[in-house]
Every structure is written in structure tokens, then in C-alpha cells.
């Protein structure tokens, strides 16, 4: 029997449906500013999708596109201006940034109450303490998927492969807060496949194409594939997108899994919109 496919687009649409009445009840539209430095093609696609989602939901969006050669000081000035504007509830600085930009300085310059990504150290601290605040979008979206597909988390063994600040660490904390027993693995973990095979819920977010094969997957596990890797295709000069999990092995051994593309990706935008609406509700409640 093949595994159930967990459809990220369906979950995203459910999130959007829940957001629409909340947006309609506000005194003004929520506002999201997206800062895209330079002209990275992949980033342009991601930003275009985010702006489209805002338009579909009735969220005001503003795209700021400074050149790739701007200085850290110039970028901080742009962010400081957005911090001061009351109609902007959420600020997203699209990564990756050019190498000469001080990424950490940019991260902490976004006002914590306007941090649409959930990356600000204050919001990360709130996550650790399990205090309501903006959560990192991809892990929060995965938790929404597990909830909406009624996949039990409490009491389950969860293994997260990857320890990034964007996915791995916040994912582990969210699973822990949901009463899973959590193991974090990474590139230096000894016996990685053995550790992964203990998981009832396996989250692969290590950025290595199809690293996770059948040896990593416990029969009947739920497999969440966060990877988005471009590799050469059989057609000369073309590439194809694969995850961190070998899809055919997940289909054969898991009880449920997320496809790539169409699994985790749509959840990220869904939770970005959710973070922006929540920020607008807080701002308008306090005025």
C-alpha cells in the first residue's frame, strides 16, 4: 500500500480561508513589506508568489528592490523606515542577501513586532519559552499540516535531520512543545540512518538531494521533506527539483509523506500571511 500524500496546497488554502474573515474584520488591511536586494532569479520567484498571496487575501504589500551593491548601512536605513510606518505590520527581508551585507545586523534591525519571518532573537526566545509570538514559517506550517491531517504528535518519536535556525531548530522546539520526544540530527551525527529509523515523524531539512532513502524510514512513519534541491535532469541542460528524501522510498515505506514540490513549500507562504495578519491584529488592538 502506498503512502498518503500530504498536500501542502490544500493546507495553505485552509489557512487562507481561516485568515479571510480575520482580515475583513480589521479597520485597515494588514501590511507586508518585502525587501528584495539584487536580482537573484529564485528570490524573485519567491517574492512574486508572496506578493500574489497578499493580493489574493486583501493584504497590502509593498516590494522594495534596492540594488545588490547597496551597503549594510543603506539596508538598515530602509528597514528602520519600515519599522516606523504604522501601516506596515510585517517586514520580510528575502534571503539570501549579498555576501557583503551583515546578515546578523539586518536580522536584529527588524522590529520584533514586525518580524514576519519569526527569525528575530526576541521571537526565537518566545518560541523557546513557548510564549505566543511570530514563529518561523516553515516549521509552523508543518505543525499546521500535522494538525489538519490529524497526525498524532504527542508521545511520538520525532527526528529532525538538520539544525538550521530557519527550519531545524524551531521545528524541534515546536514538536517538543507538542509533546513529541525529539532527536535533532545533522551532518556530524554518527549512525544517522539508525537514528532516523526510530522516528514516527521524520523531518528532513538537511539540504542534500535524496539523502534520506529507505534505510532511514521506519515502516509506517510520517515523512516531512523540507528539501528543495535542483539537480541535472535526463534532458541536457535542464534541471529537476528533488527533496532531501528519495520519493519512491517514502511512497513505499511511509504511511504519509510530503511531495516535492507541492508539499512543504506552500505552507511557508501560508504561515507568512498568518504571521502578518496576527501582527496587524496586535497593532490595531494596541492603538
For the question of residue 69 being annotated catalytic, the response is no
Q: Which residue has the cell 532516523?
A: 196
Answer yes or no: are the C-beta atoms of 108 and 153 closer than 8 Å: no
Single out the catalytic residue among 89, 115, 117, 249: 117
For the question of residue 117 being annotated catalytic, the response is yes
For the question of residue 27 being annotated catalytic, the response is no
> What DSSP character marks residue 133?
S
Single out the catalytic residue among 89, 94, 218, 225: 94
Torsion-angle region of residue 130: left (phi > 0), alpha (psi -120 to 50) or beta? Answer: left
Answer yes or no: are the C-beta atoms of 33 and 62 closer than 8 Å: yes
> What DSSP character marks residue 173?
H
Assigned C-alpha cell, 284: 490595531
Q: How far apart are CA 230 and CA 237, in angstroms?
A: 12
Assigned C-alpha cell, 4: 498518503
| Active site (catalytic) residues | 50, 94, 117
Amino acid at each position: 500500500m502506498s503512502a498518503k500524500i500530504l498536500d501542502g496546497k490544500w493546507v495553505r488554502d485552509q489557512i487562507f480561508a481561516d485568515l479571510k474573515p480575520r482580515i475583513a474584520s480589521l479597520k485597515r488591511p494588514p501590511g507586508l513589506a518585502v525587501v528584495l536586494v539584487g536580482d537573484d532569479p529564485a528570490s524573485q520567484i519567491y517574492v512574486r508568489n508572496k506578493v500574489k498571496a497578499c493580493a489574493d487575501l486583501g493584504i497590502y504589500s509593498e516590494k522594495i528592490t534596492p540594488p545588490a551593491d547597496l551597503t549594510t548601512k543603506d539596508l538598515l536605513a530602509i528597514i528602520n523606515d519600515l519599522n516606523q510606518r504604522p501601516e506596515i505590520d510585517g517586514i520580510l527581508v528575502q534571503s539570501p542577501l549579498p555576501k557583503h551585507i551583515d546578515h546578523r545586523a539586518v536580522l536584529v534591525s527588524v522590529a520584533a513586532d514586525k518580524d514576519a519571518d519569526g527569525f528575530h532573537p526576541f521571537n526565537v526566545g518566545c518560541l523557546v519559552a513557548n510564549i505566543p509570538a511570530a514563529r518561523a514559517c516553515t516549521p509552523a506550517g508543518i505543525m499546521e499540516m500535522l494538525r489538519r491531517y490529524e497526525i498524532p504528535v504527542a508521545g511520538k518519536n520525532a527526528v529532525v535531520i538538520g539544525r538550521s535556525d530557519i527550519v531545524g531548530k524551531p521545528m524541534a522546539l515546536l514538536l517538543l512543545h507538542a509533546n513529541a520526544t525529539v532527536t535533532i540530527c545533522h551532518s556530524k551525527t554518527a549512525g544517522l540512518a539508525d537514528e532516523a529509523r526510530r522516528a514516527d515523524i521524520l523531518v528532513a531539512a538537511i539540504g542534500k538531494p535524496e539523502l534520506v532513502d529507505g534505510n532511514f524510514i521506519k515502516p509506517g512513519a510520517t515523512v516531512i521533506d523540507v528539501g528543495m534541491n535542483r539537480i541535472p535532469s535526463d534532458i541536457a541542460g535542464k534541471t529537476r527539483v528533488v527533496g532531501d528524501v528519495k520519493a519512491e522510498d517514502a511512497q513505499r515505506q511511509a504511511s504519509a509523506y510530503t511531495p516535492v514540490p507541492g508539499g512543504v513549500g506552500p505552507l511557508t507562504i501560508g504561515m507568512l500571511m498568518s504571521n502578518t495578519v496576527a501582527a496587524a491584529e496586535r497593532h490595531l488592538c494596541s492603538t
